């Protein structure tokens, strides 16, 4: 893992939503062992407070190499059938303290199989406006195995979330999501967000004038999450094909760019 300051990265800049150049402020290429200074490894099944992580998911997260490891310059998150259930892995960048605005991106190859539910997403460092969904959620990439060729990008807020049928998001066709690596990204500033796959925008959400925290709680630091869930309300909507396991989610890198303050 390489933690990088903007001072050395003037050449590695990308456009911001509002037109101001951003510089690379952090990245992990997964060239060595997983850096626990950057990543928190989640363990368990969410119990007792959020059994099934609020979505009736079937997996228990583990930190051992069977489910979570670096291999040939890749992060491998692998879900396995284990007795009556499943094991998988989930990691977060909470140790880094989060980012407010910027471009957050990864290059990855997704698993294949009904019942798999990989994601690259963000949650707030603190529940400034209250518990989920009041303080927001940013789903940079979500994929469910029964809808194999489609990738989704979504936000969740108090006003816009799937529990009340009002969530805001988009999806796009990616026929090689599980056979080739693709780059998934969100660009986020005070005016809104845009979602990209391989540099092509497929969805945008604009902050409306007069928006309150109910519509726009995204004015605070968020941390990134990588996980592979199994089953659940969405991932398991058409069942779980046990023959699809072990299922592998491969991440080449994660990078964050930000504009100067």
Q: What is the pLDDT of residue 199?
A: 97
Q: State whether residue 71 is helix, strand or coil.
A: strand
For tokens 């990616």, what's the residue? 174
> Does residue 18 belong to any structural domain of this protein?
no
Tell me what pLDDT residue 2 has.
33
How much of the chain is helix, strand and coil, in % rounded to 5? 5, 45, 45
Q: How far apart (Å, rounded) are the C-alpha atoms in residues 8 and 169?
A: 35
Q: Is 244 within a domain? A: yes
Range of the domain at 69: 24-258
- Which residues, given as ranges, of the chain have pLDDT below 50? 1-13
Of 254, 256, 255, 259, which is closest to residue 74 (Cα–Cα)? 254
Domain-embedded: residue 14? no
d(CA 9, CA 24): 6
Q: Is residue 155 one of the residues assigned to a domain?
A: yes
| The pLDDT of residue 260 | 87
Contact between 101 and 259 under an 8 Å Cβ cutoff? The reply is yes
Residue 200's beta-bridge partner residues? 197
Beta strands 59-61 and 85-88: pairing type?
Answer: parallel
Q: Does residue 6 form part of some domain?
A: no
pLDDT at 17: 57
In a domain, 3, yes or no: no
The verdict on residue 15 lying in a domain is no
What CATH number is associated with residue 126?
2.60.120.200
CA atoms within 13 A on the CB side of 98: 15
Q: Work out how many domains the chain is built from and give that number.
A: 1
4 lies in a domain?
no
Residues 6+ apart with CB under 8 A from 23: 6, 9, 10, 12, 13, 257, 258, 259, 260
pLDDT of res. 261: 75
DSSP 161-195: -GGGT--EEEEEE-TTTTTS-EEEEEEEETTEEEE
Is residue 142 among the annotated active site residues? Answer: yes
Which residue is catalytic, options 137, 158, 215, 250? 137
Q: Which of the residues 142, 187, 215, 250 is marked catalytic?
A: 142
């Amino acid at each position: 893992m390489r933690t990088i300051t903007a001072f050395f990265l003037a050449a590695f800049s990308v456009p911001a939503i509002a037109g101001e150049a951003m510089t690379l402020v952090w990245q992990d290429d997964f060239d060595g062992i997983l850096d626990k200074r950057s990543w928190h490894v989640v363990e368990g099944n969410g119990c007792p407070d959020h059994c099934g992580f609020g979505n009736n998911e079937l997996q228990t997260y583990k930190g051992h190499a069977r489910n979570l490891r670096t291999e040939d310059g890749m992060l491998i998150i692998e879900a396995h059938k284990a007795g009556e259930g499943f094991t998988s892995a989930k990691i977060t960048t909470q140790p880094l303290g989060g980012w407010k605005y910027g471009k957050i991106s990864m290059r990855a190859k997704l698993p294949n199989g009904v019942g798999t539910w990989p994601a690259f997403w963000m949650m707030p460092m603190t529940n400034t406006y209250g518990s989920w969904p009041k303080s927001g959620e940013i789903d940079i990439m979500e994929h469910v195995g029964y809808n194999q060729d489609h990738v989704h990008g979504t936000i969740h807020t108090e006003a816009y979330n799937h529990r009340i049928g009002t969530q805001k998001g988009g999806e796009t066709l990616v026929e090689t999501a599980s056979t080739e690596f693709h780059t998934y990204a969100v660009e986020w500033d005070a005016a809104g967000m845009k979602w990209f796959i391989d540099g092509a925008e497929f969805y945008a959400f604009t902050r409306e004038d007069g928006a309150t925290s109910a519509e726009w709680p995204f004015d605070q630091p968020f941390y990134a999450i990588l996980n592979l869930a199994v089953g659940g309300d969405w991932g398991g909507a058409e069942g779980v094909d046990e023959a699809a396991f072990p299922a592998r989610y491969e991440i080449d890198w994660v990078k964050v760019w930000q504009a100067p303050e």
